[in-house]
Amino acid sequence: MWSEKRARMALSCAVDGGEPEAARLLARVGAQGAWAKIAEGALGEPLARRAAATDVDVVERLGARVGARFVVPGEEEWVPGLDDLAHVDPIQRRGGVPFGLWLRGPGHLPALAARSVAVVGSRAATAYGSGIATDLAAELAEHGVTVVSGMAFGIDAAAHRGALAADGPTVAVVANGVDVVYPPGNTALFEAVAKEHLVASELPPGAHPTRVRFLARNRLIAALAGGTVVVEAALRSGARNTAGWALECGRPLMAVPGPVHSRASTAPHLMIRNGQATLVTCAAEVLELVTGLGEHPVSPGVTPQRATDALTEDQLAVFEATPARRRVSSGEIALAAGVPVPSCLAALHVLEGLGLVEAGDQGWRAVPHRAMLPAPA
Amino acid sequence: MWSEKRARMALSCAVDGGEPEAARLLARVGAQGAWAKIAEGALGEPLARRAAATDVDVVERLGARVGARFVVPGEEEWVPGLDDLAHVDPIQRRGGVPFGLWLRGPGHLPALAARSVAVVGSRAATAYGSGIATDLAAELAEHGVTVVSGMAFGIDAAAHRGALAADGPTVAVVANGVDVVYPPGNTALFEAVAKEHLVASELPPGAHPTRVRFLARNRLIAALAGGTVVVEAALRSGARNTAGWALECGRPLMAVPGPVHSRASTAPHLMIRNGQATLVTCAAEVLELVTGLGEHPVSPGVTPQRATDALTEDQLAVFEATPARRRVSSGEIALAAGVPVPSCLAALHVLEGLGLVEAGDQGWRAVPHRAMLPAPA
């Protein structure tokens, strides 16, 4: 008799991730029961044939070759956030909680996921998009935030590279076995992430990617991370699919704007316009939105606050009409500012309180350098 | 005794636009009464002195030299939208309905304003921003939409130029007399707009701009236009002030995104992120948002809809697993797709109904070219 964990490992070999009938069966009779029923043909002859062809020992040997481990729900290295996938409508979205996850690398998944952001986007990224993905990932990583992505060409690779460049944590969630380096063009990157951090997959060692597996993989990226940033993406793209999963899982969805003529920014712009995604331009804005990462508030702005910012238009007019180099009467100021004398006097007293003007025997004068100082907190 | 209209003309000479106490006085005792009281010193000595210095005949002569006319609320060429300014808090925002408007040019203001969008932004525009302002304005103008702007360098000038290039309508709302060409660098543009369309101002002929007048002018741009688009703007800028007025007047506020490293896109990005402005990338998206201009819906997307777009992930997996060049059994398809046979059969029947697969004696085959056709409406 197999253990529940071994039965889950077998299920992950025979049934592609998140298959809804298998998930229902699993919920009802457990992994061993589900495996037995699938082997008996309860979900049809094809799955029974797949089950019969499954050799868990082979899969385990392939995994052992690269030092991979298999974790299942409830274990110490499981990430509770993945369980949110149970609440996503399984009919419209082929999803659900994975049977288990294969992990390769020294990273500890729950620790990595606890402070994490997914940075995803097009394979066909522009130099602009790749640069932003790298910078954003590097800055997030510098704050100790794990960059989760999919190891694809373009934005994904740029994001992993940015995190590595900052000596920060990154997790690659792939649509193939953690022992299968894909895409071959990213071999060095894949191996660096596996060696220093973590590669994760719901597919057994030896498995190769398919379109359906890429789509299913996207749900794991969205569910593992505390929020998802789409850097560049076409209207039809895997990144948009990941974005949909992030929304379904209740994670903050963010998108980076770009030049309006850039096709690669079409999906980010549409998602922002629709209100699905929040516009972000830098890591600080991302951290502000991702729950639990809020200890890095956005700096007050590109330019510091000025003491004059809080003034009404009348007060501003009065302040601007008050000379600094000589003293004048409130009547002269009112005339120059084009406001009635009572309003002018009221404004002057507010400005005096702020240290922006000062009264004297010969009248009022401005303290103009004060206007450029930061406002009192 | 002056007429109400002549009294309003006099008020517009002595009192800067939207001064709240003058507006209250006007509402209570009418223009002639307000003028008499201001001249008597009811709003202070400075305003009384300004009133005494006002020579309406001189102003009228200056206006007549350039063929300018003065219109007041209730007249045929008045724009009711300007009256929305009466509802804006006069303490925080120095605003209110203007006493009247000086108009110069052959355009008919209410006709121009009825279908209009303000396109505004930084003086210090980038080539990107200026290009977008020109293109956006040209496209709006081609749809017969009036481009309202402020005749400043940068985005404003680019917007007016775009409208003129498309032989479309444009209105310049200036912070000086309509006979005063400002800024001098835009002389040719100013004169083209005045000759072909319309220059408008609440300030009397002969008046020169001041910072306070620029700010007050912004409320007229926002209130005249059916919506406001900010193309590029710094955090502290006149365009952001105009944006605030658009919101206060209940007009749709839109902003154009740009590269995240561009300082000129800081304010648009912030306003979009805050939810104050809707992201727009083209004229069609602007027209969709501006009330009454909705007859130009946004095209369904950059790429056409495909018949496969509406499929569930299971249906898509089944469709992709069905070969086109030979016929196979539903069992084989279920195996290849990794879905149970009952789900596979259900999916095949949906796909058959969509014309994406066909059943025959030897099994199923895909009709793959159908997948690329537009979805039935």
What are A220-277's pLDDT values in tens digits? 999 999 999 999 999 888 999 999 999 989 999 999 999 999 999 999 999 999 899 9
Radius of gyration in angstroms for the set of CA atoms belonging to chain B, rounded to a whole number: 29
Instruction: Enumerate the residues of chain A whose CB falls inside 8 A of the CB of residue B212.
Output: 313, 316-317, 320, 337-338
CB pairs under 8 A between A and B: 172
- Res A321 pLDDT > 90: no
Instruction: Enumerate the residues of chain B whose CB falls inside 8 A of the CB of residue A130.
Output: none
Residues in chain A: 377
Mean pLDDT (whole number) for A276-303: 72
Mean pLDDT (whole number) for A283-312: 64
* % of chain A beyond a pLDDT of 70: 90
Report pLDDT digits (tens) over B143-153: 999 999 999 99
- Residue owning tokens 């797949």: A50
- Res B137 pLDDT > 90: yes
Q: Which of B33, B29, B42, B35 is nearest to B13 (CA)?
A: B35
**Which of B16, B313, B320 minimises the CB distance to A338?**
B16
Report pLDDT digits (tens) over A338-364: 777 777 887 887 788 777 888 877 788
* % of chain B beyond a pLDDT of 90: 66
Say yes or no for a CB contact (<8 Å) between A312 and B266.
no
Predicted confidence at residue A297, as pLDDT, reads 43
- CATH class name, domain B57-289: alpha beta
- Res B40 pLDDT > 60: yes
Which of A190-199, A226-235, A250-259, A283-292 has the least mean pLDDT?
A283-292
Higher pLDDT, B326 or A108: A108
- Residue owning tokens 């997948």: B371
Predicted confidence at residue B353, as pLDDT, reads 74
Q: Which of A336, A318, A348, A315 is nearest to B49 (CA)?
A: A336
Residue B78 and residue B72 in contact, taking contact as beta carbons nearer than 8 Å: yes
Angstrom distance (rounded) from CA B163 to CA B145: 9
CA distance A187 to chain B (A): 28
Closest chain A CA to residue B271: A279
Closest chain A CA to residue B127: A259
Instruction: Enumerate the residues of chain B whose CB falls inside 8 A of the CB of residue A283.
Output: none
Report pLDDT digits (tens) over B75-99: 999 999 999 998 876 555 667 899 9
Report pLDDT digits (tens) over B188-204: 999 999 999 999 999 99
Closest chain B CA to residue A261: B281
Say yes or no for a CB contact (<8 Å) between A334 and B44.
yes
| Type of residue at A39 | A
- Residue owning tokens 């640069």: A131
Say yes or no for a CB contact (<8 Å) between B279 and A273.
yes
Predicted confidence at residue B367, as pLDDT, reads 79
Q: Give residue A316's pLDDT band: very low, low, confident or very high (50, 70, 90).
A: confident
CA distance A331 to chain B (A): 6
Say yes or no for a CB contact (<8 Å) between B258 and A263.
no
Q: Which CATH architecture has domain A307-372?
A: Orthogonal Bundle (1.10)
Q: Give residue A298's pLDDT band: very low, low, confident or very high (50, 70, 90).
A: very low
Higher pLDDT, A46 or B134: B134
Q: Determine whether B91 is exposed, middle or buried from the number of CB atoms within 10 Å of its CB (0-12, 13-18, 19+).
A: exposed
Phi, psi of A277 (to 5 degrees): -120, 150
Predicted confidence at residue A62, as pLDDT, reads 97
Say yes or no for a CB contact (<8 Å) between A269 and B281.
yes
Phi, psi of A328 (to 5 degrees): -135, 165
Predicted confidence at residue B369, as pLDDT, reads 57
Mean pLDDT (whole number) for B243-252: 92
Angstrom distance (rounded) from CA A50 to CA A41: 10
Instruction: Enumerate the residues of chain B whose CB falls inside 8 A of the CB of residue A317.
Output: 94, 212
B1-40 b/e (C-beta count within 10 Å ≥ 16 → b): eeebbbbbbbbbbbbbbbbbbbbebbeeeebbebbbbbbe
CA distance B128 to chain A (A): 8
Map residue A171 onto helix, strand or coil. Answer: strand
- CATH class name, domain A64-289: alpha beta
Mean pLDDT (whole number) for B131-136: 98
- Res B1 pLDDT > 70: no
Which of A58-67, A89-98, B325-334 has the least mean pLDDT?
A89-98
Would you give the distance in Å from CA A131 to the centre of its chain? 17
Residue B247 and residue B253 in contact, taking contact as beta carbons nearer than 8 Å: yes
Which of A20-24, A172-176, A267-271, B167-171 has the least mean pLDDT?
A20-24
**Tokens standing for B337?**
């797709």
Mean pLDDT (whole number) for A46-65: 95
Which of A24-33, A109-118, A158-167, A336-345 has the least mean pLDDT?
A336-345
* Alpha helices by DSSP H, B73-229: 109-114, 127-142, 155-165, 187-196, 211-224
Q: Give residue B296's pLDDT band: very low, low, confident or very high (50, 70, 90).
A: very low
Mean pLDDT (whole number) for A304-329: 75
**Which of A47, A302, A344 minimises the CB distance to B263?**
A302
Say yes or no for a CB contact (<8 Å) between B342 and A302.
no
**Tokens standing for B46?**
């400075």
Domain ranges within chain B, ordered by starting residue: 1-54, 57-289, 307-372
Q: Determine whether A370 is exposed, middle or buried from the number of CB atoms within 10 Å of its CB (0-12, 13-18, 19+).
A: middle
Say yes or no for a CB contact (<8 Å) between B235 and A301.
yes
